[in-house]
Amino acid sequence: MQHTPRKRFGQNFLVDSQTVADIIHALHPRREDVMVEIGPGLGALTRPLLQSLEHLHVVEIDRDIVKRLRDEFSAKRLTIHEGDALEFDFSSLGESLRVVGNLPYNISTPLLFHLSRFAAHIRDMHFMLQKEVVARMVAQPSTSDYGRLSVMLQCRFEMEQLFIVSPECFRPPPKVESAVVRMIPLKKPLVEASQEKLFAEIVSAAFSQRRKTLRNTLRDHLTAEDYLKLGIDSNLRAENLSIAQYVAITNHLNGIRLD
């Protein structure tokens, strides 16, 4: 039965066998792995994964695809969590979770932030994403791609772009290139849990107006004296600060609030 890709779900189905093989090779799944696939679609990754895994979890929002999966796969091998991945509790699947998926471009950033909440339960993640998004994820300071997404993810994950995937590898082909990225949670997050909210607030404010200096974007947070204590030039822009410097700002402000 033919399935018509739905725009509202951002469906671009992977159909290239070599790309599938490359992703499986990067994953190197072992039989006992606890793995969840986000958006299995027509099963391009699901089938080869089940050849290696004892069991696989999938999260799928499209009811028609859910029905197709139930018709094709045994419930003993495949557990289908029907619903929105943005609302799914990934911690419910246990520890040392491996996450994989061809993520819909229209929800990729909020989904990455949602998954970050479960970093303590995750062993690694491998995603197909828009190439430009992956470039922002792995970007270094003082580059045009470095931004809020870079800082918020790199404070929790070690990330690596693995390879580029052309539009012709999908049905329907997207208008942009894609890339596969590997994300591994840091053994110790750079930001303490109690300071995550403040850290996010600082980073968001700093990048709210990229062309303006920190003196302007963080005027509600830092004084001239604070910049001196931190050893940070207030004439710099958000993209010029390292993650360690954002952490230092957070620790400094948290210390002031505790005094």
3-class secondary structure for 199-233?
Answer: HHHHHHHHCCCCCCEHHHHCCCCCCHHHHHHHCCC
Provide the mean pLDDT of the chain: 94
Is 216 annotated in some ligand binding site? no
Distance CA 256, CA 259 (A): 5
Per the annotation, does 251 bind a ligand? no
Give mean pLDDT, residues 203-223: 97
pLDDT, tens digit, for every residue of 45-62? 999 999 999 999 999 999
Task: Tell whether 60 is in a known binding site.
Answer: yes
**Is residue 177 marked as binding?**
no
What is the length of the chain?
Answer: 259
pLDDT value at 134 more than 80: yes
> What are the structural domains of the chain?
7-185 (3.40.50.150), 193-258 (1.10.8.100)
| pLDDT of 80 | 98
Q: What is the per-residue pLDDT for 105?
A: 84
Q: Give the pLDDT score at 3.
A: 52
Residue 39 annotated as binding? yes
pLDDT, position 22:
98
Confidence of residue 2 (pLDDT cuts 50, 70, 90): low
pTM: 0.93
Q: β-strands 56-60, 157-165: how paired?
A: unpaired
117: its two tokens: 């909440």
Q: Of 39-43, 114-118, 143-147, 217-221, where does mean pLDDT reach its minimum?
A: 39-43
pLDDT of 104 higher than 90 = no
For the CA atoms of 189, 246, 138, 33, the dihedral, rounded to the nearest 10 degrees, stands at: 10
In the prediction, which pLDDT does 161 show? 98
The answer to whether 94 is annotated as binding is no
| Segment 115-123 mean pLDDT | 97
Would you say 206 and 241 are in contact if contact means Cβ atoms under 8 Å apart?
Answer: yes
